[in-house]
Structure formats: C-alpha cells, structure tokens
Amino acid sequence: MAGKRDKPEEIVLKLRQVEVLQGQGSSVADAVRQIGVTQQTYYRWRKEYGGMSRDQLKRLKQLETENQRLRRAVSDLTLDKMVL
C-alpha cells in the first residue's frame, strides 16, 4: 500500500516541528509520531533536507530542473552524434 508523498516544503516544515517538540522535552520517537511519520522516514528526511531553509529548497529545485534539462540535451546530442 503506497502512502502519500510529502512535498519538500512540507518536509522542511515537519522537520522544524520535530526540532520544536524536542526543544520542549519530547523524545525523538514521540515527536516523530506526532508529525505522522516513522523514525526511518524522519532520519532519511533529516539527512536530505536537514538545515535547509525555504530559499535553499527553492534553489535546489531550480538546480534539479536545470540538471534534468541539461541531461536531456546531452543525451539528444549524443544520440545525434551516434546516428551520424
């Protein structure tokens, strides 16, 4: 059964919520349970998005989009070269 995918903006907000809850004295397990994810998901998110602000997140999305566009361009040019 597939769960819903959280958007990166939502992930950053949830990570902030966990930090606040931990600051108030909750354990990691309790804080993660309150935001509705598993500990494994929390640690994966923290590894990927930990410490990011919204501006940095927007920049990351722009760079990923640009990277995809450039990869397509390179693959198209490589294919054209192989055809010739």
Residue 66 burial (C-beta neighbours within 10 Å; 0-12, 13-18, 19+):
exposed
Q: Give the pLDDT score at 15.
A: 92
Going from N- to C-terminal start, the domains of the chain cover: 1-52, 54-83
Task: Give the pLDDT confidence of 20-53 residue by residue, as tens digits.
Answer: 999 999 999 999 999 999 999 999 999 988 888 8
| Overall CATH class of domain 1-52 | mainly alpha
Q: Give the pLDDT score at 6.
A: 85
Report the candidate in 22, 66, 62 with the shortest Cα–Cα distance to residue 46: 22
User: pTM here?
Assistant: 0.67
